[in-house]
Each structure stands twice: as structure tokens, then as C-alpha cells.
Amino acid sequence: MTLISAILVTGLLVSLTLLSTNGSPSTGTKKPTATAFALTPTLPPPQLHVAGQQIVDDRGNPITFIGAASPSLEYSCHGNGHQEVADFMAMKSWGMNIVRLPLSSAFWRNLQGSCPDYKQTVAKVVTNAEVVGLDVLLDLQWNAPLSLAIDAKKGGTQCPIPTELDATFWREVGTAYGYDHRVLFELFSEPYAPNANIWYHGGTVSDNCNNRYDTPITYTGIGMLDLVNAVRATAPDTILLVSGNGWGYDLSMLGPAYPFPDQNIMFSTHPFGHPNYEQVWDWQRAFGNAVDAGYPVFISEFGQYDCGTDYNAQVINYAKLHKLSWVTWAWEDWGCQGPGLLKDWNGEPSDPYGTFIRQQMLSASQ
């Protein structure tokens, strides 16, 4: 099914006037790009907040988010060219109600003049998603603690903990999107601090940052609580996701030793089907105890790398059992080993990975 046929099948309320075509940078093929549209008038989106372990609207109705990450803005100043209205309509046709957008704080601050129009690009992508009815999870995926030349070129990378530069990023993002009831924030996608104390309070770390640098860099960073406090200065009501340690997976430290007093916070986990870790038998320790203790948990990234579906099925079943929102990785044409949901940018799912996820999304949306 092509993107356009997928749009027609879904019967969405947005009508598009297709005025031009752009080439796909990854395949060289032509695809329609929506450059003008008319949106059926609707009521303003409700103010969402966290009540107990669930997200609810302003009438108390529970909201379960289901979606996928749309990567590229973390490593490319202008993205991959597949974050247009038509792309998000294709996501909507799968049954999604949210898209997760990984971002770069280095591009945001235009490090060394590397990306002067990044904020405008992000704003356009957010609008493209919202106009078709998707909520948006803005996620700080890559940072650049030392502001090196390679960071300006590539958007940074994944370092263990954030810095004050990232706190500034969130204050500015809060100013830009704190008013928008359709936007949530994931403050630091995948921290991997040496211990829970540094994850929470910050400290000095030394790491080659996901193999970006030839030798380890050493820097003093801030903790998750500092990011919460930073964004609350400009976005007092936005739902915030605080990722666990261990590449966003481990929430076992939650408790009295590391309190988060804010009432509109959730805690995100990223289970992936690695051969030797993050396996199902470890979930109870990593995040199950937090769920059982009443913490609001959001599965904001998950997947498996062997083109299978068994691990993903268990993640989705766990989410369904505990009424958790979930966002999978990733809306890309990387093939199932990526793991990517798409076989190609015409909207065909990878098989069986994308096919299975699409079936689960459609089932949940009904």
C-alpha cells in the first residue's frame, strides 16, 4: 500500500491538496508532499495530566498513547525528509496517536553555526504531526557536553548524563512548547550514569559517548532532577518523562532516596531484546517493581534486532496488562534488523517486525 492509498483507506478528517513532489533522499523515488491542507474544525485539545499511574484529559478520561519514534532530527539538521504531513498521516493510518521526535541540543543551540534554522524545522515537524491529530513527544536524544567540532557537524551523540547546556535547551523548549497541550517532553532519552546517585544528582563522568570520540571525554554533568527543575521554569504543566538509568531501561532506583515531587511526571523505560540483557526475566527488577509501587511508567522506546516479534509481543502484552502507553522504535526504512518498521518509504511495513507492530497498533486503536 502506498502512502496515498493508506491515507484514503483511513478516512481521516484532514483533506490534503498535493501541490508538489519531493525526492526521497534515501531512495531517490518520488513521493507526494502535502504543502497545503484544510483541517476540519475541532475543539481545542484537552489539557493532559498524570493522575495516579495514567494520563488523563481535563474530564478525567484515561489516555493511552501508542506510537513510534521518527528519528533523524538528532543527527541531521533538517531531518531525513520523511516528516511531512503525508508521512504522519501514514502513521495515523497504522493506529498511532503519538509520534516521538528525537532531538539534538547541539543543533538547537546552533553550535558553531551548524544549524541556524533548526528551531524552525522542529516547529514545522511538530505542526505537521499535530495537524493530522498526532500528539508529539519531544525527546532530547543527543547532546554535546564539550561542544566539539564533530558535535557541530553531527549533532552531538549519546553521552552518559546531561549538562547545563541541556538544561538551557529545556528552558527554551519549554518557552516554545509549554503552552501546547499536544506536546510532552522526554528530558534525556537514555542516560547511562555510573550509578543512581549520579543519574539523579549529576557528577563527573568519563566516557567515549557511544563510540563517538576516539578517547573518553571527562565532564561534570547534572542529574535528572536538575532537568525537571529547569523545564518547570518555563513549562509548569507539561507532562515530563524521566528516563531510567542504564540506557533508559532501569527504574529500580525509584523510591524515597530519589524523590521527584512534581505531580505531572512519568518515568520511561526502554526495553530492547538484546541477547544477554534487558530480557523478560529482568523486567520485574528493572521497572516492574516501580509499576507495582504505583509509579506512572511509560514505555517510550522498545524493539528487537533479530527480525522476530516474540519480544515485542511480550512488551505490548505487559503494557496492555498494566495500561501503559508505549512507543516503539522506529519509523524508518532500516529493515527489521534496524530495527525499522518500514520496508520502504511507500509505507510498506517490514516483515514480520513492522507487520506485527501495525497489527497491534490497529487493534489497540479500535
Domain that holds residue 332: 46-365
Inform me whether the pLDDT recorded for 198 exceeds 80: yes
CB burial string 335-355: b at 16+ within 10 A, e below = bbebbbbbbebbbbbbeebbb
Which helix (H) or strand (E) segment is 247 a member of?
helix 245-248
Per-residue cell: 114: 551548524
Q: Determine, yes or no, domain membership for 160.
A: yes
> How do residues 295-337 score in pLDDT, each as one tens digit?
999 999 999 999 999 999 999 999 999 999 999 999 999 988 8
Alpha helices in 116-223 (DSSP H): 118-131, 149-154, 164-177, 196-201
> How do residues 242-280 score in pLDDT, each as one tens digit?
999 999 999 999 999 999 987 899 999 999 999 889 999
Tell me, what's the pLDDT at 44?
A: 62
Distance CA 126, CA 184 (A): 11
Tell me, what's the pLDDT at 366?
A: 83
List the one residue out of 324, 335, 358, 336 whose CA is nearest residue 26.
335
Inform me whether the pLDDT recorded for 11 exceeds 60: no
CATH classification at residue 281: 3.20.20.80
Q: Determine, yes or no, domain membership for 92.
A: yes
Per-residue cell: 24: 526521497
Q: Determine, yes or no, domain membership for 5.
A: no
Q: Determine, yes or no, domain membership for 29.
A: no
Q: Determine, yes or no, domain membership for 1.
A: no
More confident residue, 11 or 86: 86
Distance CA 290, CA 281 (A): 15
Tell me, what's the pLDDT at 38?
A: 37
Q: Determine, yes or no, domain membership for 8.
A: no
Q: Determine, yes or no, domain membership for 10.
A: no
Weakest mean pLDDT among 85-94, 173-182, 343-352? 343-352
- Total number of domains in the chain: 1
Q: Determine, yes or no, domain membership for 21.
A: no
List the one residue out of 284, 123, 145 whose CA is nearest residue 213.
145
> How do residues 13-36 score in pLDDT, each as one tens digit?
433 433 333 333 333 333 334 433
Distance CA 338, CA 148 (A): 28
List the one residue out of 222, 221, 112, 231 whose CA is nearest residue 169.
231
